Chains A and B, each alone.
Chain A
């Protein structure tokens, strides 16, 4: 079945450090891939998405490239800010998923210190 695996957190970085959060997936078809962000006490917000192999999603300085050969969708940012502190979720949606369901990873908490 379909699944998403993220690196375990928490991840603690200093401001302006480089961020990578690893995400790998297993899917039977050709899924769309997503990164969502959840700030403390809030719902999830779409951060970026990619719908086919080699697509790069980007938003707010974050990037992720859909790598079919390595079944990965790692999230990167060149210089993190304190305001980036949040929980990040990787997710996939496969055409075969009944009801348009998303399959989520377990989330990675990021803490950025000044």
Chain B
């Protein structure tokens, strides 16, 4: 069976500090991978998606970036965090076929102070 992991689970960072969030998927190969952000009391905002190693599509221009160094690893980064980067970050995957179900990780709660 497939599982998706995210870490860390919770992170408190000062404004201006760097960020690295990691997501890994087990039990499948060549998945599509997604990063979402959920601000408090709001819906989901798609940040990035990837259909293969090294292939990143950005949905919202901002101070975040994503990388996919390995087939089942997806990393969300920032060089300098802003207060507005606080939120709940969710990673998801699907099998890459059209209209496939997406499966979500447990999320990382980020608080920027």
Contacts and interface: CB of A to CB of B under 8 A. Distances in A.
A98 B46 CA distance: 13
A104 B105 CA distance: 17
Interface in B90-110: 90, 92, 94, 96-107, 109
Contacts, number: 60
Interface string B34-70: 1000000011101001010000010000000000000
A100 B46 contact: no
A99 B32 contact: yes
What bracket does the count of chain B residues touching chain A fall in? Answer: 20 to 34
Contacts of B43: 89, 104-107
A95 B99 contact: yes
Identify the interface centre among B34, B44, B94, B96: most chain A CB within 10 Å of its CB. Answer: B44
B28 to A, nearest CB: 14
11 contacts: A43-B90, A44-B44, A93-B98, A93-B102, A99-B32, A99-B49, A100-B51, A100-B96, A100-B97, A100-B98, A101-B46
Given A93-B99, A100-B32, A100-B99, 5 more contacts: A45-B104, A97-B98, A98-B57, A107-B43, A107-B44
Interface of B: 32, 34, 42-44, 46, 49, 51, 57, 90, 92, 94, 96-107, 109
